[in-house]
Amino acid sequence: MFIPLSECVVRGIYKVHSRNLLVAVYCGERAFIGLREKFNYIYLDTEWANAQDERRGAWAKEFLGILPDGIELWTSRKDANGEWETNSTLLDYLVAQEKVLYPG
């Protein structure tokens, strides 16, 4: 049914079973980064697999490939000026992946 976390590859891209994510990148330590939409705003969000309950959190269903080198694994952070920035490279990549998998 789900791919065991012990078999998930860091930087691996997966279709996931999750409340908010469809496609996500596995970051290790039970964490997946994927796209979330709220009030017509798409942003990166992290969900974690719940070690005690497969019905909660994010779980890998299908391996799709490896995240290309050069795309970092973070959602948002403060830049050198103390302003928040979004990882737009990862965001754009995951948007493109979802459009291929779920057209329309």
34-82, pLDDT tens digit by residue?
Answer: 999 999 899 999 999 876 666 678 899 999 999 999 999 999 999 999 9
Q: C-alpha angle with apex 75: 31 to 33, nearest 5 degrees?
A: 30
What pLDDT shows up at residue 104?
A: 74
What pLDDT shows up at residue 1?
A: 81
Q: What's the mean pLDDT when you consider all of the chain?
A: 92
The two tokens of residue 59 are 């779980």
Residues in the chain: 104
pTM for this one?
0.90
What pLDDT shows up at residue 57?
A: 81
- Concatenated DSSP letters for 23-68? EEEEEETTEEEEEEEETTEEEEEEEEB-TT-TTSB-EEEEEEEEPP
- Percent of the chain at pLDDT > 90 equals 77
What pLDDT shows up at residue 51?
A: 62
What pLDDT shows up at residue 55?
A: 63
